[in-house]
């Protein structure tokens, strides 16, 4: 085989490439502030459209142009269709493991795709919004690394398998994103991107048309820029997002085990400040022990791993893509969870779910408050995980299993919301409620959340 030439390329080659690149717009390196109309609260945008102060044609033109530029910068979309929302004031993006009629579903793989005849059941009856994008996910929900950039916190990895959902909403490509949350796959990207993520109550019927990963914990999840935006979307879209509820004097339990488990000082300070804010608004906030669900967070990871491996034995014959080493390691970790241990964990999960009513009543709480993670998010490259699934024997196991599995294992709804910053990193909290309490969680998050805002460049 001849060696590549080391001769200098003809000038015409460089000129042609330079000319082509010039037509693509600015190099997508630094974050860029979106047009002001895209950062307005949704209530304000809809009011302007209703009165004619904002013309629909102008709105769609600005949104289309920005969507193209933002996706070039942040790579949130597996497929983007600007221009398809001419009659809709709101824009929806959907994780690429969720079926949408008219779009291919790729499952985060390079070559695989199928073309569903109908979309996920959860999208039936939607109004006032148009689907403009399928959003990036990791391989089969369990790979590592999506390639997405973080619009508000560029040094922070967006994390989670619903990565594109958090990034697309934060970037202003869409107003609402539908993803899936097993152990935190919606909540992590939302928290890392400074937006709001809602995990729904576990309901097997709600995930029809979505790739199963861990059927006993799979749940749909919604991402919006703010809790009030999510409340607006619940009111106007016809989607099964419960409407925000305003309650006074709720009993809020700050999870006592967080302070005992080595959470970083800045995280604990943010937890305390969030509790104080809710108390100042008239809620009854006190420390309470979570108990058994706290101790079974690691079991949730084992359950997810085994169920993912079981699923892979079904779909393996239909997927010919060569999976990444991290995806393979995640599946192998499920094979290592033996039948006896699997049965034991399933029994523990059944007991926890049966005890949910008593869990809240005995602790005297309506809602649990705890951080999204024990640590301030690290910059990209600070830690390199070999697998997306944490297994016993990990050198920092207790910290790595995190706090999100509390809701997942018990099948409970949870919402994460921004509460501030630590330098160039976002800080987020989560609220966990009884089954079906999503409306209350949205209302509480609206009271407690902070606007983290677009970066100033001075972090």
Residue 84 lies in a domain: yes
**Is the pLDDT reported for residue 160 higher than 90?**
no
Q: Supply the pLDDT for residue 379.
A: 84
For residue range 252-284, list pLDDT tens digits in order.
Answer: 999 999 999 789 999 999 999 999 999 999 999
Residue 24 lies in a domain: no
Q: Supply the pLDDT for residue 456.
A: 54
For residue range 104-120, list pLDDT tens digits in order.
Answer: 999 999 999 999 999 99
**Is the pLDDT reported for residue 400 higher than 80?**
yes
**Is the pLDDT reported for residue 385 higher than 60?**
no
When pLDDT is cut at 50, 70 and 90, the band that residue 5 belongs to is very low
Look at the chain and count its residues: 459
Residue 28 lies in a domain: no
DSSP states along 50-81 = HHTSS-HHHHHHHHHHHHHHHHHHH--EEEE-
For residue range 221-251, list pLDDT tens digits in order.
Answer: 999 999 999 999 999 999 999 999 999 999 9
Q: Supply the pLDDT for residue 386.
A: 47
Residue 59 lies in a domain: yes
When pLDDT is cut at 50, 70 and 90, the band that residue 214 belongs to is very high
Residue 30 lies in a domain: no
Q: Supply the pLDDT for residue 424.
A: 87
Residue 114 lies in a domain: yes
Residue 326 lies in a domain: yes
Span 179-208, average pLDDT: 97
285, β-bridge pairs: 252
Span 304-332, average pLDDT: 91
Q: Supply the pLDDT for residue 17.
A: 62
Span 298-308, average pLDDT: 95
Lowest average pLDDT, out of 175-189, 291-305, 321-335, 349-363, goes to 321-335
CB 135 within 8 A of CB 154: no
Q: What is the mean pLDDT of the chain?
A: 90
| CATH number for 72 | 3.90.1300.10
Residue 265 lies in a domain: yes
Provide the residue range defining the domain that includes 352. 38-448
383 by Cβ neighbours in 10 Å (0-12 / 13-18 / 19+) ranks as exposed
Alpha helices in 281-338 (DSSP H): 292-295, 297-315, 325-335
Give the total number of structural domains in the chain.
1
Q: Supply the pLDDT for residue 19.
A: 60
């Amino acid at each position: 085989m001849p060696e590549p030439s080391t001769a200098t390329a003809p000038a015409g080659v460089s000129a042609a490439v330079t000319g082509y690149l010039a037509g693509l717009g600015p190099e997508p390196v630094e974050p860029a502030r979106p047009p002001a109309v895209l950062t307005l609260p949704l209530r304000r945008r809809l009011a302007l459209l209703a009165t004619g102060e904002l013309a629909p044609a102008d709105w769609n033109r600005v949104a289309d142009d920005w969507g193209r530029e933002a996706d070039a910068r942040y790579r949130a979309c597996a497929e983007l269709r600007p221009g398809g929302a001419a009659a809709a004031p709101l824009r929806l993006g959907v994780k690429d493991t969720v079926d949408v009629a008219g779009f291919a579903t790729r499952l985060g793989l390079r070559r695989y795709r199928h073309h569903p005849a109908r979309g996920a059941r959860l999208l039936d009856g939607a109004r006032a919004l148009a689907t403009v994008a399928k959003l990036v996910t990791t391989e089969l929900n369990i790979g590592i690394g999506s390639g997405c950039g973080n619009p508000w916190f560029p040094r922070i990895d967006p994390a989670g398998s619903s990565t594109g959902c958090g990034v697309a909403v934060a970037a202003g490509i869409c107003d609402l994103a539908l993803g899936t949350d097993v152990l935190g796959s919606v909540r992590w990207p939302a928290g890392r991107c400074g937006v709001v993520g809602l995990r729904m109550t576990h309901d097997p019927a709600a995930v029809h048309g979505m790739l199963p990963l861990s059927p006993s914990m799979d749940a749909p999840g919604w991402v919006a820029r703010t809790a009030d935006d999510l409340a607006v979307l619940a009111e106007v879209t016809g989607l099964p997002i419960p409407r925000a509820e305003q309650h006074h004097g709720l009993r809020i339990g700050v999870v006592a085990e967080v302070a005992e488990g080595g959470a970083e000082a800045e995280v604990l300070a943010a937890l305390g400040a969030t509790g104080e804010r809710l108390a100042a608004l008239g809620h009854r906030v006190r420390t309470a022990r979570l108990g058994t669900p706290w101790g079974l967070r690691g079991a949730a990871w084992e359950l997810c791993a085994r169920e993912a491996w079981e699923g892979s034995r079904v779909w393996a014959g239909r997927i010919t893509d060569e999976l990444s080493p991290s995806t393979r390691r995640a599946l192998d970790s499920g094979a290592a969870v033996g039948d006896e241990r699997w049965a034991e964990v399933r029994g523990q999960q059944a007991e926890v779910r049966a005890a949910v009513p008593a869990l809240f009543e005995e602790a005297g709480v309506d809602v649990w408050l705890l951080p999204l993670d024990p640590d301030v998010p690290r910059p990209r490259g600070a830690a390199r995980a070999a697998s997306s699934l944490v297994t016993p024997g990990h050198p920092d196991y207790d910290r790595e299993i995190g706090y999100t599995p509390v809701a997942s294992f018990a099948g409970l709804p949870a919402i994460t919301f921004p509460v501030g910053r630590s330098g160039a990193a976002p800080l987020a909290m989560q609220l966990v409620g009884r089954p079906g309490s999503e409306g209350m969680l949205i209302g509480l998050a609206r009271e407690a959340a902070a606007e983290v805002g677009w970066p100033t460049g001075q972090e």
